[in-house]
Amino acid sequence: MRSGFSFFWLLAALGLVVCRSTGAEAIDADITVVDSDTGAPVVGAAVSLESADQLLIGVSDEGGRIQWPAVSPGTWRLHIITLGFESVDRELLISGPFSERISLRPQPLLMDEMVVRGIRDADQIRAPVFVESITPAEVATPGADIAQLLQVATGISIRRYGGLGSSSTVSIRGSTSEQVLVYLDGIPLNRAGGGGVDLGAMPVAGIESVDVYRGAVPARFGGNSLGGVLHLRTRSLGGAPRWHMQTSKGSFGAQQASVSAATPWKGFDLMALADVNHSNNDFRFFDDNGTEYNLGDDTWASRRNSDFTSLRTIVKMGRRVGAHRLQVHGVHDVRHKGLPGIGNFQSLQTRFDTWNHLAEALLYGPFGNAGGYRLRLYHSLDRGTFKDLAGEVGAARDHDETTTRGVGARGEIAQLAGQQRLITLFADTRQEQFDGRDLLRDGAPKPSARRRAVSVGGEAEVPVGMGIIVHTGGQWEGFDDRFFDDGNFVPAAPLSPIHDRRGLWGARVGFSADVAAGWIVKGHAGRYGRAPSFFELFGDRGAIVGNTDLTPESGQQRDLGLHHRADDGLTLAEIVAYDNRVEDLIRFVQNSQYVSRAHNIGRASLRGVETRIEARLRLAGWAFSLHAGYTYQQAENRSPFSFEKGNDLPNAPRHRSQLRIGTDTGPWHVHWDLRRESRHFLDRANLRPIAARTIHGAGIRRQFGKGMSVAAEISNLTDNGVADLWGYPLPGRSVSISLSVEHPSSHLSNMSRGNQ
């Protein structure tokens, strides 16, 4: 639930009770707030009582109650507001000891990140969705990127092209990176150009949580993802004025500094953040000189041209407009880095600079008597400059600039039908334009492409009794692609462009059922798909030839599992079995010595079991925590080629486990973590194996008061020399030390009070 919903939330969070002087005899007042449908207490409702000379403000407790021991007799104005319910605004006559039970009617409200209704399910506990939410502040070292953060998630595999800030890809349940959808505050980051989303280029700074969806996908993400969804959420607005500063320093020249501040001002909620990161990435690795069986030329070497420097800024602003909420924000990422190439043939001069901008305007609020809506407009701009003047990485000298512009709009409506049934409808439209310039030819334009897309769909949540809830949904997507050359149409036909139109649909059904003692069984089955990217459709006008006859990849997903949550002891337990089938996988097949063409030739079977547990234990002043996960996965290649059929898919280890143990005593926190992957392969023929790896890490943090902490972290404790993705070495042991200071600012507090 996001703070900052109203001025009442701010006052309630501060626990303020403002009383103007009165000489009347005090009377005890007792108010209980309950759900009109279930009779359950409503926790966290902001309640105010106001008379001519007195104002009382508070928050309902776990029993839905709020009490005031000193209320003057007379006429009062009662106001109650809370998310997921209709507000109350009425007069009360208090003449003696007063006790009242107030019933609130549920009202779904589409917010920035979730549907909030009478019975709230922000953690998707009763939805047929297996989702894991990761909080960076709990598991990430300062200066980390999203790829490092996701290493603790169950069912996810990360592949990196080097150290901190290097290109990184993600796989969920054996999928390709193209099949995983990534969102930042609801804005899609996947580009029509293809290649998946580079998580190594995304710092953790300003990220409040990352939600990992495996299997079923909620309607607010379009509901059509062949692999899964990652949703990155930036820090929320609202609350008391606060500021935060952090700095860290580590191995291989790593340095990081960030500052952020948030405050209310003239009815607005404001937040700003700036974060700077740098690393030389000059770690040591073992270089076999490209001769695996000749040990005489093996030596230790340092990574070269692997440095990076990045700057991230976030600005957010929001305010209430009547019963509605308007919010705008912008995220900028600027990055300058080297591309070092593989370990045994390092490039020394190749550079890649990027500039990314996302802007969004969001409006949400109630709709009708028992509904809510959300409207989103967004704009994205991605610019990259690749410079390889010596031809160290590519086949020839290269100096290109590419720009991708995107605009989109999305609308959602959620409506309660009857007492419990919830229906959600959505529609969105978007356009992307890809352009390029050849800087070696005085900025001559390169082939460009444009994609327009529209999608519509919906989902329904229907309780059928005995603790069983059925969920069903579906969507249709339409694509209109055009490919241009040098600003003019390519004459594939006389005076006509290369033009491609296609439709893509998906559907799903799932259920959840209460079993006993906090256990819930849930499952889903669905059909999903992915449209071909520009790269696959149109090629690169060189060694890669596109194929406009490609059909979308499609797949069927099925999963079934048990989920348990509790407040203490074993706080979370989950075991899930999944069986996915993928058809029409798009692969590039070499059809001459130097040319490859995209074809629909692949099939894959992805089966596995995912388990994770979390536990907390208090013993003699010590608090212990345990986070553990294990995934068994069989990702089988079922393509028609005899030399591939039956092999493991690339980068899909059969066994993957992670463990994190922590303990707190007083101001100290200590943790140890372990990640292990079994042997797997880099290629489809299973001729390039990667040995099993076990990576240890440890850290310690000391809290000083409420606002300052110092932490130290050691990664790859045993200094294992490992590599990923065709010989890209990964760092060995590294150490980082950080200082963090966070505190409400008296200056900001005074400024906000003076301007309200």
Average pLDDT of the residues in 236-264: 90
Average pLDDT of the residues in 562-569: 87
Both tokens of 59, joined, read: 């928050």
Instruction: Give the largest Cα separation in the chain, rounded.
Output: 96
* 68-77, 307-316, 451-460: least confidently modelled range: 68-77
CA atoms within 13 A on the CB side of 24: 18
- In this predicted structure, the answer to whether residue 732 has a pLDDT above a threshold of 70 is yes
The answer to whether the beta carbons of residues 661 and 624 sit under 8 Å apart is yes
Strand partners, 403: 383, 435
The answer to whether the beta carbons of residues 105 and 119 sit under 8 Å apart is no
Q: Residue 581: what pLDDT?
A: 92
What are the backbone angles phi and psi of residue 258, rounded to the nearest 5°? -145, 155
Average pLDDT of the residues in 508-521: 89
Both tokens of 602, joined, read: 């692949």
- In this predicted structure, the answer to whether residue 750 has a pLDDT above a threshold of 50 is no
Question: What confidence category does residue 607 fall into, taking pLDDT thresholds of 50, 70 and 90?
Answer: very high
Average pLDDT of the residues in 275-288: 89
Both tokens of 322, joined, read: 């009547």
Question: What confidence category does residue 752 fall into, taking pLDDT thresholds of 50, 70 and 90?
Answer: very low
Q: Residue 174: what pLDDT?
A: 87
- Given the structure tokens 């005090």, which residue do they identify? 26
- Which whole-number Å values give the CA distances from 83 to 66, 104, 293, 495, in the listed order? 17, 11, 65, 57
* DSSP-derived secondary structure letter, 649: P
What are the backbone angles phi and psi of residue 729, rounded to the nearest 5°? -70, 150
pLDDT digits (tens, 9 = 90+) for 644-662: 888 888 888 999 999 999 9
Q: Residue 494: what pLDDT?
A: 41
The answer to whether the beta carbons of residues 139 and 151 sit under 8 Å apart is no
Q: Residue 64: what pLDDT?
A: 84
pLDDT digits (tens, 9 = 90+) for 681-728: 877 788 878 888 899 999 999 998 778 999 999 999 998 877 776 668
CA distance linking residue 231 with residue 134, whole number of Å: 10
Report the mean per-residue pLDDT for the chain.
82
Q: Residue 513: what pLDDT?
A: 92
The answer to whether the beta carbons of residues 220 and 260 sit under 8 Å apart is no
What are the backbone angles phi and psi of residue 14, rounded to the nearest 5°? -80, -15
Q: Residue 549: what pLDDT?
A: 80
- In this predicted structure, the answer to whether residue 638 has a pLDDT above a threshold of 60 is yes
Both tokens of 632, joined, read: 């068994």
CA distance linking residue 178 with residue 537, whole number of Å: 14
- In this predicted structure, the answer to whether residue 5 has a pLDDT above a threshold of 80 is no
CA distance linking residue 691 with residue 706, whole number of Å: 45
Question: What confidence category does residue 611 fall into, taking pLDDT thresholds of 50, 70 and 90?
Answer: very high
- Specify the 3-state DSSP secondary structure of 336: strand
- In this predicted structure, the answer to whether residue 489 has a pLDDT above a threshold of 50 is no
Q: Residue 238: what pLDDT?
A: 80
Q: What percentage of residues in the chain have a pLDDT greater than 70?
A: 86
Strand partners, 714: 698, 735
Both tokens of 586, joined, read: 């798009």
Pairing of strands 180-184, 168-172: unpaired
- The CATH topology of domain 234-754 is Maltoporin; Chain A (2.40.170)
Higher pLDDT, 544 or 547: 547
Average pLDDT of the residues in 357-373: 89
Both tokens of 687, joined, read: 């001729």
Pairing of strands 74-81, 46-50: antiparallel
Q: Residue 367: what pLDDT?
A: 85
Residues sharing a CB contact under 8 Å with residue 747, sequence separation 6 or more, in sequence order: none
- The CATH topology of domain 7-105 is Immunoglobulin-like (2.60.40)
Quote the distance between the C-alpha of residue 348 and its chain's center: 34
Average pLDDT of the residues in 372-388: 93
Average pLDDT of the residues in 424-438: 92
* DSSP-derived secondary structure letter, 493: B
Question: What confidence category does residue 374 fall into, taking pLDDT thresholds of 50, 70 and 90?
Answer: very high
**What's 280-312 look like in SS3?**
CCCCEEEECCCCCCCHHHCEEEECCCCCEEEEE
- Which whole-number Å values give the CA distances from 14 to 59, 236, 239, in the listed order? 10, 17, 8
Where are the domains positioned within the chain? 7-105, 115-233, 234-754
The CATH class given to the 115-233 domain equals mainly beta
* 178-192, 588-602, 641-655: least confidently modelled range: 588-602
- In this predicted structure, the answer to whether residue 9 has a pLDDT above a threshold of 70 is no
- Given the structure tokens 């003239």, which residue do they identify? 266
* 105-119, 287-301, 347-361, 447-461: least confidently modelled range: 105-119
Instruction: Let me know the angle formed at the C-alpha of 155 by 657 and 210, rounded to the nearest 5 degrees.
Output: 110
Average pLDDT of the residues in 532-547: 69
CA distance linking residue 424 with residue 410, whole number of Å: 13
Question: What confidence category does residue 380 fall into, taking pLDDT thresholds of 50, 70 and 90?
Answer: very high
Question: What confidence category does residue 745 fall into, taking pLDDT thresholds of 50, 70 and 90?
Answer: very low
Helices (H), 455-610: 534-538
Burial of 590 (0-12, 13-18, 19+ CB in 10 A): exposed
Q: Residue 40: what pLDDT?
A: 82
Q: Residue 537: what pLDDT?
A: 78
Average pLDDT of the residues in 141-147: 77
CA distance linking residue 694 with residue 713, whole number of Å: 17
The answer to whether the beta carbons of residues 70 and 98 sit under 8 Å apart is no
pLDDT digits (tens, 9 = 90+) for 53-106: 777 777 788 778 888 876 778 888 888 888 778 888 888 888 777 788 888 887
Q: Residue 591: what pLDDT?
A: 59
Other beta carbons within 10 angstroms of residue 47's beta carbon come to 24
Q: Residue 471: what pLDDT?
A: 92
CA distance linking residue 662 with residue 423, whole number of Å: 42
- Which candidate, 11, 108, 88, places its Cα nearest to that of 461? 108
CA distance linking residue 263 with residue 256, whole number of Å: 24
Q: Residue 44: what pLDDT?
A: 78
- Given the structure tokens 């790896």, which residue do they identify? 693
Q: H or E element: which one contains 180? A: strand 180-184
Question: What confidence category does residue 124 fall into, taking pLDDT thresholds of 50, 70 and 90?
Answer: low
Question: What confidence category does residue 670 fall into, taking pLDDT thresholds of 50, 70 and 90?
Answer: very high
